[in-house]
Amino acid sequence: MDYVCACYRSCGGAAMVNRAINFRHSGLFDWIIQRFSAVVLAAYTIFILGNFLLHADMDFHAWKSIFDSIFTRVFSIITLIALCAHAWIGMWTVTTDYITSVQFGENATVLRFVFQFFVFLIVTGYLIWGVQIFWGS
């Protein structure tokens, strides 16, 4: 049940910000999301490559017809969410490895938050932009 709650909490931007500053959130949750999202990304890569193999003479119309299908759109958006989650957890982990007081002294916390804030903006921007692209036309 705790796990379901953690999943729910992680869906919002506020939760993402909270996770950036809170070192006590569940590492298990992050670990599972990283692996689950990696599987989704791998499946989507195979799906796209498979489409290229099936449509040897891929042109704009063939490409558009693939993305006109509801399945592709939903799968693409799920993959986009997986990518954003993967990127956020990965970057959070990288910043808490490399931007620490060991390397940057007492400025580390401020530096890390600034960096994580920009990562948050970029990830959120890509998510909104991606949904607009996949669902907008």
User: Is 61 among the residues that bind another protein (CB under 8 A)?
Assistant: no
Residue from 15, 73, 78, 93 binding another protein (CB under 8 A): 93
Amino acid at 137: S
- Name residue, tokens 């939903």: 74
The residue length of the chain stands at 137
Task: Compose the 100-129 pattern: x for residues touching another protein by CB under 8 A, - for all others.
Answer: x-x---------------------------
Backbone dihedral region for residue 12 (phi beyond 0: left; psi -120 to 50: alpha; all else: beta): beta
Q: How many residues belong to the site for another protein (CB under 8 A)?
A: 18
Q: Which stretch binds another protein (CB under 8 A): 20-28, 46-54, 105-113, 124-132?
A: 20-28
Q: How far is CA 47 from CA 20, 42, 95, 129, in A?
A: 33, 9, 32, 22
Binding-site ranges for another protein (CB under 8 A): 2-3, 23-32, 93, 96-98, 100, 102
